[in-house]
Amino acid sequence: MIPRGIRALLAAVALFAPWAVPAATITATVADDQGRPLADAVVTISPEPGTGTPSPDGEASTPISVTIDQKSEIFVPAVVALRAGGSAMFRDSDNIRHHVYSFSPVRRFEMVQTPGETSAPIVFPQPGVVAIGCNIHDHMSAYIFVTAAPWSKVTGANGQAVLTGLPAGRFVATVWHPRLRPRAEPPVQNLSLATENSSISVTLPVLPPRRPRARDY
């Protein structure tokens, strides 16, 4: 499961859509290739280089600090976006230990967590995908999408991510998903925005969810 995240990064830029944005809010709707809403897709928006669109200072919406919980041997949330230089904390809400680790070149770390424990913040300086696993429970997986983009949001169960607080200007949007098909043609979408609230919709070709393997823990 972990190589998938890294592999998906290689084909990560799913959408380049330069457009003028007079809007304050963008609603991104992401669907899989069967048209079903796709949760856990990371939508990022950053100023298009060379257009004079300023990078925001204070109002950027990509989190600089996230907490990933572990409940019933599941990482919650399973996918987070994090500003490069930001930090993540891990919490163990189970009453057993977990052994959180990453061998992603972007950020390698490992730590044992005891029941109830919240870790110290782990800093992620470089953009990239960090696949997180648990060395005890191989079925547990999470992804930290570390990005320089000032705005980013992860889609919910309805496949939507609402990005707010954008100034006027031209932007580039990307969409990434842990199960993005390698070698898939990234969909490109151009937008003309007429109203303050605008929307984009993206179809991502994704692999089916991984089926469980025999448990050996």
Q: If binding is defined by CB under 5 A, does position 141 make contact with Cu ion?
A: no
Q: If binding is defined by CB under 5 A, does position 177 make contact with Cu ion?
A: no
CB of 104 to Cu ion, least distance (A): 18
Q: Output 20 or 31, the one with its CB closest to another protein.
A: 31
Q: Output 64 or 111, the one with its CB closest to Cu ion.
A: 111
Residues in the chain: 217
Q: Which two tokens stand for residue 71?
A: 């409940």
> For residue 2, what is the DSSP state?
H
Q: What is the DSSP string of 115-150?
A: TT-BPPPEE--S-EEEEEEESS-TT-EEEEEEE--S
3 binds, options another protein, Cu ion, none, Cβ within 5 to 8 A by partner type: another protein
CB of 140 to Cu ion, least distance (A): 5
Task: By CB under 8 A, name the binding residues for another protein.
Answer: 2-4, 6-7, 10, 34, 72, 94-97, 99, 101-103, 108-110, 112, 114-115, 135-136, 179, 181-183, 207-208, 210-217
Task: Match 């913040």 to its residue by tokens.
Answer: 121
CB of 5 to Cu ion, least distance (A): 17
Site string for Cu ion, 67-106 (x = CB under 5 A): -------------------------------x--------
Write out the H or E segment, with its range, that includes residue 8. helix 2-10
Number of residues that bind Cu ion (CB under 5 A): 4
83 binds, options another protein, Cu ion, none, Cβ within 5 to 8 A by partner type: none
Question: Residue 64's CB: how many other CB atoms inside 10 A?
Answer: 11
Q: Output 107 or 153, the one with its CB closest to another protein.
A: 107
Q: Output 44 or 141, the one with its CB closest to Cu ion.
A: 141
Q: Which two tokens stand for residue 59?
A: 């109002």
Q: Cα–Cα distance between 135 and 75 in angstroms, integer?
A: 13
In contact, 24 and 163? CB cutoff 8 Å: no
Q: By CB under 5 A, name the one of 4, 137, 153, 179 that touches Cu ion.
A: 137
Half-sphere exposure of 49 (CA within 13 A, CB side): 3
Beta-sheet pairing, 87-92 with 65-71 = parallel
Q: What is the DSSP string of 181-211?
A: PTTPPPP-------SSEEEEEEEE-BPPPPP
CB of 179 to another protein, least distance (A): 8
Q: Output 83 or 137, the one with its CB closest to Cu ion.
A: 137
What residues make contact with Cu ion under the rule CB under 5 A? 98, 134, 136-137
